[in-house]
Each structure stands twice: as C-alpha cells, then as structure tokens.
Structure 1
Amino acid sequence: MHPALLVLLGGALLRITVGSEVYLRYVKEGLRPMVVATGAVLVLLGAVGLVREGRAWLRQPVLNHRREADGSYRVEPHAVHLEDEEDGHGHGHGHGAGPRVAFLLGAPALALLFFAPPALGSYTASRDGAAAAVEQADYQALRNGQLTPMSMREFIGRSLHDTGSLEGRQVVLTGFVSRGAGGADWHLNRLTVNCCAADARPLRVAVHGAADAPAADSWVQVTGRWRAGAVDARSPVPHLDVLSVTAVPTPRNPYADRAPELAS
C-alpha cells in the first residue's frame, strides 16, 4: 500500500477520535483507545515510507546526453540508482508496489476527513426485519410516580417477562423514528452494537395514537402507556399508546441505550 494512503487512513482515524467524538457513530465507546493507536501507527508507518521514497527519488540517476560522431545522441546515467545497487541484476524494483485498487481505500478516508457519514438510522432499522432479542433480567421494583423513564431494552424486556410492572404506568422512552408496519402508526427505535455499526441490531417499539408521525430519523422523547398483547420473544416489538411526543437532540452516543433524563 502506498505510504501516502497509510497517512491518509491514519489521519482520518485520528481526526474522528482525538478532540472529536465522531467515532461514536461507528464503534463502541470502549474501542476509542484502539482506534487512536491504530491511527497513530498508520501515520507513523506512512511517514517512514514517504521518507524512504523521498530519499530514493533524490538518488535517482541524472541522465547525461552525449552527441556521438555520427550525429546521434547517447544517454548515459551519471549515477547508479539506489535500487539498482540493491537489486544486483541491473534493474530496480518499481515504486508503489501493490495493486492499484488499494487506492480506493482513500475514498472512505477522505469521507471521514471532510464529510463524516452520520450514524445508522431508520433505513437500517427498517431493513432489518427481526428486532434484537432481549434476555430476561431481574427487574427491580419501579418507583411510584407519574412518569417512569426507561431504556428501550428494559421496556421491551418488561413487556416480555414482567408485564405486571407496566400496567397502567406512563413510561418515557427515547429513540429515532422510522415508518410504521404491522398496524403501527410509526416505530420508535434504538440501534445497539456489540463492536461496531456493522453488527447493529434494532430495538423497536410500535407507536400508536400520534396525530402526525414525526419525520423519519428524527430523535424524539415519547410518553405513553404499554398496550397489552402477545410479543414474540424471537423478535420482540411491544406496542405503546402515545400520550405526548417531544423532539430531542441526537444523543452524544446514538448506540448507547439509556433511560431518558427528565427535566426537574
């Protein structure tokens, strides 16, 4: 791979991690040190390669043109190319070893440097037909109160394994919007990842009762009541009768499924 491409890729990784949190759109928060280390190593290797190529270029032979007695010109090298000396067979190895298609890796690097793609959203959530399974957990008793903020995973888990805790309770969830299916007006979603965006799986709640569905990919905070009904444990999508919808900013880490914080 060309050294300049290594510098470009490493610089892109450092750009989204050092002094920036753009990397949270693509990988888990805990992977930041490894991404920083990878970017630094790529920049260092690329810089060393560029220095070596620069030295080799400076040692290229200077060609002298000498006119022969018959009027023709003869070209003679003034110095032996460094790579010729190392080869020992009278010819050097060409620069830029490796397939030229490797330069296509520069496209995503340039995108990260100048136009960082957004986090995954409604397209991914709608395309993946099966919602992420939620394992049973030991749920703590909920406090009495008018509103109960929950993470999406907890709400889905309780709708499967602890339905009594949701009856008659107003819950508050946060997620992004996608189009409805299966009788829902629209869906509230979160995407969770084990490592990076490539393995993202959706957590999905079917929402009913909103007069106008919010725009796709917009982040909202929804207050509603759980609608009793059977939920498939293999692809759980519980239903929520909405009471209010409030637009909220995109969270710092879009893949971290946390309970919303209510204003005091």
Structure 2
Amino acid sequence: MTHPALLVLLGGALLRITVGSEVYLRYVKEGLRPMVIVTGAVLVLLGAAGLVREGRAWLRQPVLNHRRAEDGSYRVEPHAAHPAHEEEGEDGHGHGAGPRVAFLLGAPALALLFFAPPALGSYTASRDGAAAAVEQADYRALPSGPLTPMSMREFIGRSQHDSAGLEGRQVVLTGFVSRGGGGVDWHLNRLTVNCCAADARPLRVAVHGAGVAPAADSWVQVTGRWRAGAVDARSPVPHLDVLSVTAVPAPRNPYADRAPELAS
C-alpha cells in the first residue's frame, strides 16, 4: 500500500497549504492556487482508490497452512484452493525494495503537513551572483510629496532609465535584509518568481549609512536617497543612502514586489 498512501500524503499536503491557508505563497505564484488545489484533490482521490483496491486484494489473499516437515521444522504452504501467490515481489514476500524506498518520497509531504518550510530569503539572494534585470518602461512623472513609495523593480528600473527623476527624492522601499560586503553595509532584497520558488531571482539594492545592519532575513521599510552612479544593466544593483530603517512584518505574499503603503 506504499504507493497509494504516498499519493494521499502528497495530495493532503498540497490541500493543507492551499485550502484555508496561504502557506502556498511561499512556494508558487498566487495565480497557481486553483491548479495546486485541483492537483491535491486528484492525488487524494487516486490514492484513496488505490488503497481500496489494495485492501480488497489483501482480503482475497490465500489462506496459509502451517505444516510440519520430516525434519521437525514448519513450512508455510498456500491452501489448495490457492496454489500459489500470484503477486509475490522479488523478495518472495509480496514486495521488493522499491516500495520501501518510496517512503523516502513522503518526507517533503510530511514537512508540508507538519512543518512548512519558510519562503526563500537571504541565503538565496546572496547565493545568486546576478540580480534580476529590469526592462525599460515608460515611467510616469512621480507625484510631489516628501516621500515616494516604490516597488523594488520600479526603483531599480528608474535608476537605469530615469535617474533624473530620483535625484534629491526620498524614496521608501520594503524588502528583507542580507549581508553586505565590498563597501556595502548591507543589501535590501526582494525575490521575484515567474512560476515558483525554483526560478526565483533577486531584486537587490545596496544600502549605505544605516549604522548596524538589521538581522539577516528581517523585513524592513527603508527611507533613503538614491546614490548617483552607473548601474550594470545585466545585473542592476543601485545604491541607496539610508535616512531611516523601520522593522515591518513579512508580507502576505513574499514574492509580490509592491510599493509600501505609508501610514496616514
């Protein structure tokens, strides 16, 4: 019953993180939720059908007779009405090494059921040497006001293609913290995905002048001014001189790069 039970376990894990929960946002885009729910339901139904089928087969197993051999040992023989085990595995006991190994595939499902791994963070952002490229866009004139909230993508894009609009302006960004190095105090990051966490790419801003760096993976809202300088279009990492840093809760969807909302 290993394979059907594994299907039920995997399907149940998918349903657990999507139905009545938003844990799935740590792993896939928000728009994929219906597909994940359908996949989980199908796996549970297939696994349940397999368990019923194998349960019936188990009830039809032959009755075994224990007979004593001439040397005094006991030998197990099938009943005469069932001359042989037709579904024995390679080891002679109805199962081989494959099903036992298949239990290892249940480890990810058990993790989702009982201990859902967190969203990707500073380790992924620091490991990937290239930041995500930002395509040029037609940027509208920024509104007047003392503070300008921006998504990370917009700030990086403007630093490349509309830097004049950033000069002297106080921008507000939100992201999680990773270590610095090479003259950078620390980095502010967001991760962007096309489909799921497996294809995550970092959006990164180099931070200066913030004193002691916040803890890695902590989410912060940063107010600062763009530091003029060339940005590599293939791996854009603009620089920001920080004026203030405020700790904020992790967003509902960690991969949705949106401009922060300012308190009224």
Q: Do Structure 1 and Structure 2 share a fold, with TM-score over 0.5?
A: yes
1:130-186 Cα distance to aligned partner (Å, 9 max, x none)? 100000001011110000000000000000000011011000000000001231110
1:217-242 Cα distance to aligned partner (Å, 9 max, x none)? 00000000000001100000000000
- Aligned in 2, Cα 1:153/1:64: closer, same or farther, shift over 3 Å? same
- Aligned in 2, Cα 1:229/1:62: closer, same or farther, shift over 3 Å? same
- Aligned in 2, Cα 1:183/1:94: closer, same or farther, shift over 3 Å? same
What displacement does 1:59 show? 1.1
Range with bigger deviation, 197-206 or 103-112: 103-112
What displacement does 1:105 show? 1.1
What displacement does 1:62 show? 1.5
CA RMSD of aligned residues (A): 2.8
What displacement does 1:84 show? 5.3
The answer to whether the 8 A contact 1:225-1:242 is kept is: yes
What is aligned with 1:42?
43
Alignment of 1:106-145 (within 5 A): 106-145=106-145
Matched residues in 2 for 1:65 and 1:93: separation? 16
- Aligned in 2, Cα 1:8/1:82: closer, same or farther, shift over 3 Å? farther
- Aligned in 2, Cα 1:61/1:212: closer, same or farther, shift over 3 Å? same
Range with bigger deviation, 182-191 or 145-154: 182-191
Alignment of 1:21-32 (within 5 A): 21-32=22-33
Matched residues in 1 for 2:172 and 2:10: separation? 41
Matched residues in 2 for 1:87 and 1:94: separation? 4
Say whether residues 1:69 and 2:78 are aligned partners: no
Matched residues in 1 for 2:71 and 2:93: separation? 35
- Aligned in 2, Cα 1:50/1:95: closer, same or farther, shift over 3 Å? farther
The answer to whether the 8 A contact 2:88-2:95 is kept is: no
Matched residues in 2 for 1:144 and 1:181: separation? 34
What displacement does 1:94 show? 3.5
Percent identity of equivalent pairs: 90
- Aligned in 2, Cα 1:107/1:225: closer, same or farther, shift over 3 Å? same
The answer to whether the 8 A contact 1:221-1:248 is kept is: yes
TM-score, reference length from structure 2: 0.91
Matched residues in 1 for 2:71 and 2:259: separation? 90
Matched residues in 2 for 1:239 and 1:68: separation? 86
TM-score, reference length from structure 1: 0.91
The answer to whether the 8 A contact 1:27-1:197 is kept is: yes
The answer to whether the 8 A contact 2:190-2:257 is kept is: yes
The answer to whether the 8 A contact 1:56-1:82 is kept is: no
Name structure 2 gaps, 5 residues minimum: none
1:4-28 Cα distance to aligned partner (Å, 9 max, x none)? 1111111111100000000000000
- Aligned in 2, Cα 1:147/1:36: closer, same or farther, shift over 3 Å? same
